[in-house]
């Protein structure tokens, strides 16, 4: 499955080693393709909304989904400044495939406390009803609305995994969905017992 819960992973052993391993996967991107943000202090742009939640930066791993420059992205590289120790995160926009880079946000909730964090997207959970021949999904929302033509993220071979899981237990598959300006995208899934309700 595509990793979607940043809190489900263990602590970093060596963030420099993680960055070294990840560089091979992202080396074909050119510097001018990347949208940078140099600000590391919290502002209204990073204010938490109903569609986001705060993730402490020490929980974030390569493959996690976060918000970079207001865009839902999957992390492909993490770097650490040798001078400041600050982490920077490079991610691929799940909807546009553009690259975005941003440092962790520094906030001071009290004079003696310094927090480093990013925002993560809140997921909706839909019941998978059918998988169409064009690779899109038919799913039912929490309120019973039927969603036709739901797209699937192309990372992690998710479509193939969904098809296999659905074939083994139709009705028991739940897709996790993120939204962006009216567009929706399935980014992960889970299996629930058939007796459970959505």
CATH of the domain at 52: 2.30.30.30
Q: Are residues 114 and 173 in the same domain?
A: no
Total domains in the chain come to: 2
For residue 68, the enclosing domain spans 6-121
Q: Is residue 53 located within the same domain as residue 73? A: yes
Same domain, 117 and 128: no
Assess if residue 171 is contained within a domain: yes
* 105 shares its domain with 55: yes
Task: Choose the final residue of a domain: 63, 98, 121.
Answer: 121
> What confidence score (pLDDT) does residue 45 get?
41
Residues 32 and 55 in one domain: yes
Do 108 and 132 sit in the same domain of this protein? Answer: no
How far apart CA 156 and CA 28 sit, in angstroms, is: 19
Please indicate, yes or no, whether residues 83 and 158 belong to a single structural domain of this protein: no
Does residue 34 fall inside a structural domain? yes
The separation between CA 91 and the C-alpha centre of its own chain, rounded to angstroms, equals 9
151 in a structural domain: yes
HSE-up (13 A, CA, CB side) for residue 198: 19
- Could you tell me if 185 and 171 are in contact, meaning their C-beta atoms sit under 8 angstroms apart? no
- Whether 46 and 72 map to the same domain: the answer is yes
85 in the same domain as 134: no
Which is nearest to 187 in space by CA: 175, 198, 173, 170? 175
Q: How many CA atoms lie within 13 A of 85 on its CB side?
A: 4
CATH number at residue 177: 2.40.50.140
Cβ-based neighbours of 83, under 8 Å, separated by 6 or more: none
H/E element, 179: strand 173-180
Q: Is residue 57 domain-shared with residue 150, that is, in the same domain?
A: no
Q: Give pLDDT, residue 1.
A: 52
pLDDT of residue 36: 53
Whole-model pTM: value is 0.68
Give CA–CA dist 87/105, Å, rounded: 10
Q: Please report whether residue 106 resides in a domain.
A: yes
pLDDT in tens, the chain (198 residues): 543 333 333 333 333 333 323 333 333 334 345 555 544 444 334 555 677 999 999 899 999 999 999 999 999 999 988 887 788 999 999 999 999 999 988 877 788 887 889 999 999 999 999 999 898 999 999 999 999 999 999 877 899 999 999 988 766 899 999 999 889 999 999 998 765 455
Looking at 121, 156, 180, the residue that finishes a domain is: 121
Query: Does residue 196 belong to any structural domain of this protein?
Result: no
Burial (CB < 10 A; 0-12, 13-18, 19+), residue 69, is middle
């Amino acid at each position: 499955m595509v990793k979607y819960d940043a809190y489900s992973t263990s602590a970093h052993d060596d963030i420099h080693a993680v960055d070294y391993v990840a560089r091979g996967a992202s080396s074909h991107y050119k510097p001018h393709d990347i949208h940078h943000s140099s600000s590391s202090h919290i502002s209204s742009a990073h204010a938490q909304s109903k569609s986001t939640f705060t993730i402490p930066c020490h929980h974030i791993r390569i493959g996690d989904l976060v918000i970079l420059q207001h865009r839902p992205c999957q992390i492909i590289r993490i770097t650490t400044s040798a001078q400041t120790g600050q982490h920077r995160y490079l991610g691929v926009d799940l909807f546009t495939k553009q690259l975005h880079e941003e440092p962790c946000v520094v906030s001071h909730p009290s004079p003696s406390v310094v927090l480093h964090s990013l925002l993560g997207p809140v997921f909706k959970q839909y019941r998978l009803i059918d998988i169409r021949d064009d690779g899109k999904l038919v799913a039912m929302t929490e309120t019973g609305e039927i969603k036709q033509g739901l797209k699937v993220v192309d990372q992690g071979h998710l479509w193939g995994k969904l098809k296999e899981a659905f074939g083994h237990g139709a009705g028991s598959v739940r897709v996790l969905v993120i939204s962006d300006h009216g567009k929706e995208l399935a980014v992960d899934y889970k299996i629930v017992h058939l007796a459970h309700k959505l």
